[in-house]
Amino acid sequence: MKFFEDIRVGETAEIGRHTFTADEIKAFAARFDPQPFHLDEAAAARSQFGRLCASGWHTACMWMRLVIEHRRREDAERRARGEPVATLGVSPGFRDLRWPNPVYPGDTISYATEVIEMRPSSSRPDWGIVTARNTGANQRGEPVLSFISSAFVERSQKQRDPSP
């Protein structure tokens, strides 16, 4: 992870990609979203989706997984170059999540992120808050996921109490 001071609004990154299989779509749905169109091809054929498709939560959770792997690669590269690695703090949450198109078995989703806002944290002076637009698109370029996330990111220049 880069430090807050090294991040710029407008920065984009390819997070990674994942191909969803029918088996994993069904396994996720059985555990967390047991609706017929996520569980069974025949039932899905009779649904509004017309065929088996992934739970939107599955599409979102895979974003999280790829973000962690992306950060690990980034951190390893920074360490290899002898650069310090910033700590990523908790996420205060996110907003405006959309699933504009279904994810079908065999679809490969490419996830990307763009920094859209940055501000110092008023309550935690050693941290900044980075807001990003996160997206997923299938192999035809159709959007399947979008949401805005915020996260605390460590500052390289630690803030000191102002002189009295």
Measure the CA–CA gap between 116 and 11, rounded to whole angstroms: 8
Helix (H) or strand (E) holding 22: helix 22-32
Cβ atoms of 144 and 59 within 8 Å: the answer is yes
Residues in 100-129 at the binding interface with its own copies, rule: CB under 8 A: none
Question: Is 113 in a helix, a strand, or coil?
Answer: strand
Q: For residue 126, count other CB atoms closer than 10 A to its CB.
A: 17
Cβ closer to its own copies: 82 or 93?
Answer: 93
Binding range to its own copies, per CB under 8 A, among 15-23, 27-35, 78-86, 129-137: 27-35
> What is the Cα–Cα distance from 40 to 52, expressed in whole angstroms?
7
Closest contact distance (angstroms) between CB of 96 and its own copies is 5
Q: Does 90 bind its own copies (CB under 8 A)?
A: yes
Please list the residues that pair with 110 across neighbouring strands. Answer: 17, 137
- Interacting span for its own copies (CB under 8 A) from 4-12, 25-33, 74-82, 105-113: 25-33
Paired tokens of 83: 């650069």
45 binds its own copies (CB under 8 A): no
Q: Mark the segment that binds its own copies (CB under 8 A) among 4-12, 77-85, 92-100, 131-139.
A: 92-100
Q: Check binding of 3 to its own copies (CB under 8 A).
A: no
Inter-residue contact 52 to 105 (CB < 8 Å): yes
Taking residues 59 to 78 in sequence order and writing x for each that binds its own copies by CB under 8 A, - otherwise, the string is: -xxx-xx--xx---------
Min dist. Cβ of residue 162 to its own copies (A)? 25
From the number of C-beta atoms within 10 Å of its C-beta (0-12, 13-18, 19+), residue 153 rates as buried
For its own copies, the closer of residues 31 and 119 by Cβ is: 31
User: Which residues contribute to the site for its own copies (CB under 8 A)?
Assistant: 31-35, 48, 55-57, 60-62, 64-65, 68-69, 89-99, 147
